[in-house]
């Protein structure tokens, strides 16, 4: 590695920027994945509960 003035100036900043970007991407990616997984799971649970409730009301409506 050649330590020129330009390289010594830009290299640490480049490393810090890439590390910060990588950390931000990791945090945001983890939060986004958890949020999507939770919303998908909750929507699936909600549709399942709604189907169960509809089935209960249909069964009660069919019974005399």
Which structure tokens are listed for 61?
């409506």
**What would the pLDDT profile of 25-38 be if each residue is shown by its tens digit?**
888 888 888 887 87
Considering the chain, what percentage of its residues have pLDDT values greater than 70?
A: 38
Q: Is the model's pLDDT at 63 over the cut of 60?
A: no
Give the H/E segment covering residue 64: none
- CA–CA gap between residue 38 and residue 31 (Å, rounded): 10
């Amino acid at each position: 590695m050649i330590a020129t003035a330009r390289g010594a100036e830009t290299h640490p900043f480049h490393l810090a920027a890439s590390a910060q970007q990588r950390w931000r991407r990791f945090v945001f990616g983890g939060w986004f994945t958890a949020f999507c997984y939770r919303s998908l799971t909750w929507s699936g649970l909600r549709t399942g509960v709604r189907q169960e409730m509809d089935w209960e009301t249909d069964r009660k409506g069919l019974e005399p």
